[in-house]
Amino acid sequence: MKKWTHPGGKLRELGAESLTDAELLSILISTGTKGKSAEDIAREILDKFNSFKGMANQPLEKFLKFKGLGDVKIIRIAAAFEIARRIVKRVLEDSETK
């Protein structure tokens, strides 16, 4: 079995639940910048907002302040949060009808 060193490979090998929040976020970020990996950028974002919950309702403009994040990466992150919101909404709706 191949030993993965990056978060995407780790997810594939060990499952999503084995990744840290920074590793999961770095998969969405995809690439870093010179001298800063996607995981470094993810850690910086999580340090600033304390958690995914802290990130969830931030205006997109706040993410532009992080070196290494541009429109495409920010849109990808925003889409992931919207998917999560819709899942939670559906789960809550389903639990109310039971």
Give domain limits for the chain: 7-96
pLDDT of residue 69: 93
pLDDT of residue 1: 56
Q: What residue ranges of the chain have pLDDT lower than 50? A: none
pLDDT of residue 94: 86
pLDDT of residue 57: 83
Rounded to whole angstroms, how far apart are CA atoms 17 and 61? Answer: 30
CB 30 within 8 A of CB 47: no
| Assigned fold of 7-96 | DNA polymerase; domain 1 (1.10.150)
- Reported as half-sphere exposure (CB side, CA atoms, 13 A), residue 84 has a value of 11
pLDDT of residue 4: 67
Is pTM beyond 0.75? Reply is yes
The CA–CA distances, whole Å, from 76 to 3, 12, 33, 51, 92 equal 27, 20, 17, 17, 25
